[in-house]
């Protein structure tokens, strides 16, 4: 159930991060910059959701400060491709499973 763009509500459901937190993180992390459609609504891409899941893990789970999370993200982006060990895999898996759960919940509501 891949989409090109997700609304802030959909991203909130997928990542379990409140919309006001997403808007706040957008002001702090330059890497998180969702586009806005003609109506002015934020539209998030897959890479935005992956970044949000990384930020959630760093800030909420590992208790990094926002400044510490910013340094971690910047350091990760500066690594050569050979130095990376595919840190996105767990986040992608989590995101896909949450999307499936939301789809199944909406399907079960229709029954």
Q: List helix spans (H) across 29-87.
A: 46-56, 66-78
Q: What's the DSSP call for residue 35? A: E
CATH architecture of 8-110: Orthogonal Bundle (1.10)
pTM of the model: 0.70
Asked if 54 contacts 21 with a C-beta cutoff of 8 angstroms, the reply is: no
DSSP state of 72: H
Per-residue pLDDT of the chain (111 residues; tens, 9 = 90+): 578 899 999 999 999 999 999 999 999 999 999 999 999 999 999 999 999 999 999 999 899 999 999 998 888 877 644 344 455 556 677 777 778 888 888 888 887
């Amino acid at each position: 159930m891949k989409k090109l763009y997700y609304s802030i509500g959909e991203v909130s459901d997928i990542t379990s991060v409140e919309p006001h937190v997403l808007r706040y993180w957008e002001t702090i992390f330059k890497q998180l910059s969702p586009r806005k459609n003609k109506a002015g609504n934020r539209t998030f891409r897959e890479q935005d959701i992956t970044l949000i899941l990384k930020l959630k893990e760093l800030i909420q789970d590992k208790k990094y400060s926002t400044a510490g999370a910013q340094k971690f993200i910047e350091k990760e982006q500066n690594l050569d491709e050979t130095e990376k060990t595919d840190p996105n895999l767990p986040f992608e898996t989590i995101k896909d499973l949450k999307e499936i759960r939301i789809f199944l919940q909406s399907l079960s509501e229709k029954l």
